[in-house]
Each structure stands twice: as structure tokens, then as C-alpha cells.
Structure 1
Amino acid sequence: MASNMAPKQEQSFPLRLLLDREKNRVVVAEASGDFIDTLFSFLTLPLGTIIRLLSNKQQHDQPAEIGCINNLYQSVENSSAEVFWNHICKEMLLHPQNNCKSLCRKLKLNVDDTESLRYFMCSNCKRGSNRLLSTFSGASCCSCGKLMDKEMKLLGDSDDETHTDGVFVKGEAMYFIFDDLRVLQSSPNNFVKELTQLGYRNFHKLVEISPCVGLEEILNLLKQALTSKSPLSDVFFAYGESLGICTFSPKMGPKHEEPGFDFGVSINIKVTLRKSKKKIVYAEAEGDFVDFLFSFLTAPLGSILNLLDGYSSLGCIDNLYRSVKELDSSRLTIPRPLGTPLLDPRVAPQFGYRRQPLKLPEEETLSYWYSTGLIKNSICYVNPNGVVSKKRSLVENPCEMKLFDPRSADGTRELAVGFVKKPSLFVVWDDLKVMPLANASSICFIQKMNLPLDDLEEHILSIREVEALNLLRVSLTSKAALTEGLSHLLEKPNQKPKA
């Protein structure tokens, strides 16, 4: 599902940077809307795409570590295809689709190299009412069992529409970007106000440079935006990562006995606590909990920040998110309240996991129509291979198609339940490394841990919306997600949390 076509590396942006040489810091950058569009597009990227892009980019450098998310991604990579319903589910998690891909393709520089959707049909099934459409290559037809290997061209796709006045922000304006990734519209008043607040009364300590920024710098900015409190300085001064200290206080959910409260979807897991360290060693869980964790990889960054109310403590990305919220609506190509593709982008169709406590919205799957005739200027043209369209009006005698869904045992949309086979049993370590327990020896498992058996204590926990949010937040910034996100649930009723 990854594209063989890399983003156009020859594309670049001119920047104007004001530097403080004494402090080795970028004070402010000024750039056009094209650069801001690429910067804001970070919010549309699924976490799995971010991990993949930065892992490919940093092969010879220190990799970007985003809490436990790298471990989730590597767990998918290291798992055999037999863990999932099919090989497509594994590829979906490693190469998730960006639901804003049609907008991102219009960027002057698009960092997301994920392959666009392709459309396949079974050449064996002739009857229109039985025709099945797949947006994934290598799918098996659930009607006859043969591969859906007949690639179809999609007619009348609105993704082909051109965009002339910017993608996310209007292109004629200039913008300021500060070292902490706050973005403001460029104006003399904003410039004076901001530099005065930063302690500068004149230009005596400031030096101006005008570099050109290409793919290399943009990917570095993406990495530093997620790991540093001074991304611009880290990229343009090679100053190193200035990681901020993240403090996490878990939210407390309603008590189980509280009457009249709707807890929604809940997932039960069995955790093993090391009593002497007050540390969760691992969780024993079924496929629904693993699907919940793996769904982090398909969730867009902006959607996650929306769930966390814009406070992830992840580098400076919160500032970028708030900049979109606070930017004058007249500067956006889609004014608020409708302009939400950055503030709450949906998970791409068929890439979500709906049976979970978090309300990560998945885009509804569109209807597709098949016919042997297409309409051009009110004249019907016959195509012996048939045509597929999202628009019923473009084809003659259209037949609605069933869509193949990999998230089930037989590819039917009605039974779509997730990515991993069920029933299945897994071990999830404190750092969110996931290990399937199929054919694994429990004796060997306990021996390898090499921990005193009388120091281990078992607890059953229910993961509801509040606990799921805690796990999501802490998975972005910590290497001990289970302990930091769930250990407060293990306190006995007469115990008070430590200050």
C-alpha cells in the first residue's frame, strides 16, 4: 500500500528567519501560505504514517520516539499475517490512508507518500448484482474465492478537482511561525507585539537568513514538532532535541456503582502488578483490546488532539493545533465551523475500529456504482470492461456494488469487527509491545520474566472511555503506558492517591 513514488524532492519553500546568534535560537520565521499548508497537513497524518515516515527518514540518525507508539507499530510489523484476519489488515495498520488525501495531494510539498486508493473487481463474477468492489489489492472474492485482480478506473472522482487559492489557508497572505510552532498571520502589529513579549527592543541581536526548505527539512520539522519544545531552532541550528518534561495526571472516571451513568463500550483486561515496584508488568487481553491499541495507528493526529482537548504534551504540536483554532476564519479556505478537516479529521473509511471506548470518528463508506455504460454529454458510451463511479448520474443503468471489508473473516461489511482474529489472546507489555499467545508456552513465558512469583498480583480492569483516553494520552509521551495510565485503578478504596 506504500507508493513507489516519493514526494517531489525538488519542491522547496523560501523562508525568512530571524536568528538570535547569542542564544542559538530561531526567534521567528516568515513564510507564505504554501509552507503553512504543509505544516498544518501534519494534523491530517495518521500516527502509523508518521512513525513510518520518520523511521524511513531517520535510518542513519537517532529515530524519533513517540512514547509507546513506535512499539505498537513494530508489534504489527513483527506479527505474522496469521494474527490478522488477512494480510490486508496488517498492511492497513502499517500504511493507513489519510482521509484528507485529496486535499494533501494539492500541497506544494506533500510528505505523505501513501499510495492512493485503487479499485479492484473479481473478473470471475459476471452478474452485476454479485459484483464486489475492493479498494485493496490481493483481496479474495467472498462469492467465488478467487482474487479480485481486475483493476478498475474510477470515473468522476471529485479528488481530481483543482484548488487554486491555497489548501488549508488562503495563499495570498504571509504568516509568522515562532520557535514553539505558534502560527500567526503576518502583520507589523503582530510582529512588534510578539518580539516585545520575547524581550527584544530592537534588531541589534538579530540576524536574518533566507534558506530554502525542502522535504529533508520538513520531515525534520515533523519529528521535532512531536519531540521538542523548540522545533525551528533544532532544525536550523542543529541544536539538538530540547525535550520538555511531560507530567501526566490520570482522569478519574465515574464509580461503577454510580446509578444512571452510561459507560458505553468497555473492554476487560487482566493485568499483572509487581507489588514491590507498584508497576504493571503486563496485561493479558483478548483481541478487542489489541484492536483498540492498534487503532491508534490509523487515527489522524488532529483527531487525537481533538479527543485530548488540544493538550497532548507532545512536543509543540499542541501549539500548531491551537493556531488552527485561533487563526482568523477568513484566512481558512473552509471557514469555521465547517472547516474541521484539520481540527477533527476522520479516520479513513474502513480503517477504524468502532467497537471501542474512544469516539474516534470514521468516515462513512461511500456507495459505488457499476455499469457497462457511461454518460457523456447526455450520450451513453458502452465500455465492455465496465466502469465504476461514486456518482450514480455518470453511468447508465447503475448497479450498486458491495464493498469488500478486510476487517472480518469473510470480507463482508456487516461483520467487520477489527484487525486481529477473534477469539485470540495476547500479552501487552507496559510499554505497549504486543505479543500473541497462540502456541506460546506459559511456563517459558513466566520463566523468562525472572520475577519473584509472590511479588506478582493479578487484577481485572475495565477500560471505558475515561481509561481509554488516559491510555491514549500517556501512550504518546511515556514508555510505561499501562502503569501510568491505569495503576490508579489498582488503589484500594481506603487508599488516597499520593500527592
Structure 2
Amino acid sequence: MFSRIGSHLFRIIHGFQRRGNNPSEIMDGLETLMVTADLIERILTEQIMAATEEVTIPLRYWVDDKKNRVIMVETSGDFVDILFSFLTLPLGTIIRLGNKLEQHVQLGCINKLYQSVDNLKYDDFWNNICNKMLLSPRNPLESSCERLKVKIDDTEPTKYFLCHTCSKEKDLLLSTFDGARCRCGKLMRKETKLLVESKEELASKNGVFVKPNAMFLIFDDLRVVRSSPSDSVKTFLKHRHKDLSKIPENSQNVGMKEILSILKQALISKSPLSDVLLKSGSKKYSCSQDTGPIHSKGHVEIKVMVSKSENKILFAEADGDFVDFLVSFLTTPIGSIVKLMKGRLCLGSIGNLYKSVKDLNPSWFIGSSKESLLNIRVAPHFGCKSNPLEEDDSPQYWYGPVVVKDNEGRIMISKRKDMLRDPTKVKLFDPRSSDGAREPIVGFMKRPCLFIVSDDLEVIPMTTDSSISYLQQLGNVKLNDLEEHFIKVRKSHEALDLLRASLTSNEAALTQSLFSLLWLCQRCIPFICVLGSRHKIKEKKKKEKVIISDKRHDERERDKK
């Protein structure tokens, strides 16, 4: 729009400069100006109408009337792109979208964790950016999801900022948040644009993840396959339908509301399409709790307070490392969790989406989008060192005048050095660092700190709150019923158990994931005591043998004399 308006204005200004004070030519210029004004009004009107008109996607689906279930849906790649984009959404984004659009999404104890982060004060974090990062986490595939036909993620797009004072220096810092503090002490407020050079990013009309000209079949549990007559026949026969003419066919245009409802049901149901399109009740489902061995290094130590009579963990006392680990759940994409759990996770139909990406032929994907969806990681600077999921590598950026067409001469940043003239290397630094110099692994919480974490993952800072008041809030708890234990939460096992329990339990994430460690310790103590007793008995017998031997030796010596 602005390029069209700009070209008209340029011709007007150039015409005035060339014509001087000639009245007829001035009138021609004014007439051109009026035409330009009409153009601006028409374009703005079109944009306003486009913004207010809801974008929808058509679906065709077939229904089993007896079971009141959707047999399958046939649709284009536009809808499949949206379904696959569910895998890229961080947990915090899913909670926020549900709350904002009145589509409350229940994700175990993650809801309580999100609410407690929202209740924390800015002083509990390194800076106010940390709070924003957790409540509105960044999508690691943001540039791709921006091109979705119906975009449900309203997270603010990434912007890039430099320091006004240091922008002419050679050693530049680049921030993706407005107001981050540069190492010179000034705030980074100078916005700069990113040069888009990827063919996949430029192909805004040619799909996002899958080929747009392909048709796909989607089953009630969100399994996605390429549309083919053979798959259709097998599906109908599986549901005992032999006559296609007797199977009811329906059509519906789905928009933002329906898609968000499908996302919500996909997290809790094995029949999300029936739940939304037919407004039927969701099915119950079961799952395996075994994730298999996952190898990783490191651990954090916490103190837990256990109720002996109820056999449950009441709360944990933890420092910043453990709380960083917990709150980093909010920045973790759901697809990366499915991969980490090896597909065995009690989370509705999300696992079927991931498996569909894995099983679909690579030829139906655009570029490297299949690998991107299968290997989603936490966005750069949004993770922490104790999280089993690693962050994406921070890309290298360059800063300088653009040499390519359309943006030639503009001062921009780019991931490609050859797109700029005399480029300056810039470093993307962790916005959680107050001056750009602190190590990026510090996490979100300001040190030193102490937090109480309840069994349902409510996080309460003990810097200002009274610990006695917290004990009083627990209700009728007898102090002699409480027992203190220390637990090491390893990234290789316990951290994964806690992540899974936080998604599947509404009020007992700590107990479900960590209580077994206490039971193992209690079993080991008597065993160790028995071993210790046996060792002492053996030592005692050895000493007795030595004493008896010494006595006999003394007696023989006396007899000789």
C-alpha cells in the first residue's frame, strides 16, 4: 500500500519542482494530489473491511449418525497448516489465548503456574522483560506461523532494537525487546528492520508447512493423511459403511473461534473434531506413563515437606534454579514435549498430530518444514539450563546498508552478510541480562531468592511473604505430622516426570512425580542399616578372634617359661 502511495507523492513533488509557478501545471499537480487522496481513502477502506471480515476455511466432513461421530474431514493444506501449528505453541501461549478468548484451556497444574507467574512482582525477576517472556512466550517458528490463513497466536511479532549511543560502534548488541539495557547503561530503543531473504518466508501465498494445492484427510483423533480414494474406502469400511450415498456429508466454514475450540479439545480429547463440529461429548482415554530413558546431565536440589498421614508432598522450598526450571515450562512448545516424551503422553490427540507429521511423505511439505516441526526447540533465550529441552541456537546477525533490490540503501539487519554493504557484526544478547554482560544461563528469577512451591505448582516468593502465614494457610496441619526431605531433581528422569505430571495432574504435580523418590529412600534405609549391622557383627567377631588368639599365645609363652 505505502509503495503505491509513495510513488504518487514522489511524482507530485517532482512535478511541482519541475513546473515552477505555471498555473496550469500547478492545477495538474493538484488534480494528481486529489487522485492520490482518493487512492489512500480507498486502500484504507479496503484494509479496514478486510480486518473486520473474519477469515474462514471450508471443511467437508462425513458423519456416523448412529455414533454421532465425525468419520473424517477432507480439506486443503490451509487447515492442515493450522493443525500442525498447534505443535509450535508454547504452553504459556495456549493458556493466555484460552483466557483471552474465553476458551478456558485446562492443562493440569500449568494453569496455576501461569497464574502465579502473573501474580509475581517485577522485583522477583531480573527485570520486567522476564515477566513478559513467560506470559507471552515466543513461538520458535514465528516467521512461518505469521503466514497462516487463520492466525490464532496474537503474540506480538519479534522486533529488533539497537542502542542509539552504540549504533555506530563495531561491537554492537541486538535486542528483541524494547527497553533492554545496553552495556553502556542506556536503553535499547532504536528499532531496526530484519531483511527477509528466505524463499520460504517470501512465499506467503504458497502455503506454510504443507503444499497448499494438496487435499488431506483428517480423522476424528487428528490423524492426518494425504487424501486418496483408497484411504477413503478403507476408512468408510472400517466404520461399516458400504454405501457412500447413505453417509451424510456436511460442510462448514471454520474461523478463529472453532479453531481455538479444536485446539482446546485436542489437548483433552480423542475426538476433538466431533466435539467441536457436532458439539458432542469427549471420549475418555488412557495412556502409558513410561517415557523411556532420556540421557541428560545436571540436577537441582529442593527441600520438600511431607504429610506422613496423607502420604503427599505439601510444598517444596526451592531457590531460583528450580523455579526457573518450573516457569520455563510456560515457554516450552507442546510439540517439543511430545517428542521428549517419545509420543507417550496423556495429552488428548496432540500426539497424533506429531505422528502425522512424522508419517507424511516429505514431498508434501514445503522445504524443510517437516524437520522443523519434528524438532521444535525452545526459542532462543526463553529456556533455562535445568530444562531438559534445549534452546534454538541464536542466529548470527549483520547490520548495514542493503544492496538488494526493493530495499537498496536502507539500513537493516540480516542473517546473510552478502545482502549488506560493509556489514557490521551484531550480537543477539539475552534480554534477561541487565547489562548484556551477565551469563545467559541465569534464567528468570533474581538471585538470591527463596520460593515456596505448592503441590499444584503455585509459586510464592518468601522474600516478602511470611513463612508462618503460609503454614497457617495450610489449614489444620499438625506440625508433628510434617517430615522434611531433600530431593535431587535430575534432568534425565525426575524433571521429565515433573513436566508430565504438571500437564496431567490438576492438583498434585509434586506428589505424583517426586513422592516415589521418598519411598525408595525409605526402603533403602533399613537395607543399609542391615548391611551396617552385619558389617559390625563381622568386625566384632574378628576382634574376638584376635583377642582369643592373643590369649592362647600368652598362655603358650608362660608354659615355656
Task: Answer whether TM exceeds 0.5 for this pair.
Answer: yes
Instruction: Provide the residue aligned with 2:465 in structure 1.
Output: 440
Residue 460 of structure 1 is aligned with which of 473, 477, 486?
A: 486
Partner AA of 1:30 in structure 2:
E
| Runs (5+) with no aligned partner, structure 2 | 1-49, 525-561
Structure 1 residues 472 and 491, CA, compared in 2 at 3 Å: closer, same or farther?
same
Matched, 1:351 2:407: no
Q: Which residue of structure 2 aligns with residue 428 of structure 1? A: 453
State the 1:339 CA deviation: 2.8
Alignment of 1:101-120 (within 5 A): 101-120=142-161
Quick one: which of 514, 536, 552 aligns to 1:486? 514
1:148 pairs with 2:188: yes
AA aligned opposite 2:486: I
Structure-2 separation of matches of 1:205 and 1:433: 53
Q: How far apart, CA to CA, are the structure 2 residues paired with 1:217 and 1:349?
A: 31
**What one-letter code is carried by the residue in structure 1 that aligns with 2:373?**
L
CA contact (8 A) 2:221 2:273 kept: yes
Question: Which AA in structure 2 matches 1:475?
Answer: S
Distance 1:243 1:54, change over 3 A: farther
- Choose which of 402, 416, 421 in structure 2 pairs with 1:396: 421
- Closer, same or farther in 2 for the Cα pair 1:180/1:146, shift >3 Å? same
1:43-442 correspondence to structure 2 within 5 Å: 43-58=87-102, 63-125=104-166, 127-143=168-184, 145-158=185-198, 160-203=201-244, 206-245=247-286, 248=289, 264-334=297-367, 339-353=370-384, 355-356=385-386, 358=388, 360-371=389-400, 373-376=401-404, 381=409, 386-412=411-437, 414-442=439-467
The separation in 2 between residues aligned to 1:212 and 1:492, in whole angstroms, is: 55
Q: Secondary structure of 2:81's partner?
A: helix
Q: As a proportion of its length, which structure holds more helix?
A: 2
Aligned to 1:29: 73
Change (3 A) 1:165 1:67: same
Distance 1:469 1:478 in 2: 14
Residue 328 of structure 1 and its aligned partner are, at CA, apart by: 2.2
Q: Distance in 2 between matches of 1:188 and 1:295?
A: 45
Q: Distance in 2 between matches of 1:133 and 1:334?
A: 29
Deviation at 1:211, TM superposition (A): 0.7
Contact map agreement 1:266 1:357 (CA 8 A) in 2 = no
Q: Is the 8 A contact 1:18 1:28 kept in 2?
A: yes
Deviation at 1:156, TM superposition (A): 4.4
Residue 51 of structure 1 aligns with an amino acid whose one-letter code is I
Where does structure 1 lack aligned partners over 5 or more consecutive residues? Answer: 1-5, 254-261
Shift in Å, 1:296: 1.2
Counterparts of 2:297 and 2:390, CA distance in 1: 15
Q: How far is the alpha carbon of 1:205 from its aligned partner?
A: 6.3
- Residues 154 and 170 of structure 1: CA distance in aligned 2, closer, same or farther (over 3 Å): closer
- Distance in 1, matches of 2:52 and 2:157, equals 16
Q: Greater CA deviation, 79-88 or 404-413?
A: 404-413
The question of whether the paired residues in 2 share the 8 Å contact of 1:9 and 1:215 is answered with no
User: For the residues of structure 2 that align with 1:422 and 1:341, how far apart are their CA atoms?
Assistant: 35
Separation of aligned partners in 2, 1:147 and 1:120: 10
Whole-Å separation in 2 of the counterparts to 1:23 and 1:36: 25
Q: 1:32: Cα distance to partner?
A: 1.1
Alpha-carbon contact 1:243-1:315 (below 8 Å) kept: no
CA contact (8 A) 1:408 1:418 kept: no
1:299 positional shift: 1.2
The C-alpha deviation readout for 1:354-374, integer Å capped at 9, x for no partner, is x1151x131111222233x44
Cα–Cα, structure 1 residues 357 and 405, in superposed 2: closer, same or farther, change >3 Å?
A: closer
Q: Distance in 2 between matches of 1:8 and 1:40?
A: 26
1:113 is displaced (CA, Å) by: 1.7
2:29 aligns to what? none
8 Å contact from structure 1 (residues 251, 467) kept in 2 = no
Q: Which moved more, 1:186-195 or 1:268-277?
A: 186-195
1:458 shift after superposition: 1.0
Taking a change above 3 Å as real, the CA distance of residues 396 and 332 of structure 1, as seen in their structure-2 partners, is closer
* Distance (whole Å) between structure 2 residues aligned to residue 226 and residue 156 of structure 1: 34
* Cα distance, 1:164 vs structure 2: 5.0
Tell me, in whole angstroms, the C-alpha distance in 1 between the residues paired with 2:408 and 2:109.
Answer: 55
Partner Cα distance (2:505, 2:307) in 1:
19
Query: Compared with structure 1, are the counterparts of its residues 415 and 36 closer, same or farther at alpha carbon in structure 2 (3 Å cutoff)?
Result: closer
Q: Which has the larger radius of gyration?
A: 2
Judged with a 3 Å threshold, the aligned counterparts in structure 2 of structure 1 residues 395 and 171 are, in CA distance, closer, same or farther, namely: closer
CA distance in 1, matches of 2:367, 2:276: 31
CA pair 201-456 structure 1, distance change in 2 beyond 3 A:
farther
Give the Å deviation of 1:33. Answer: 1.3
- SS class of match (1:482): helix
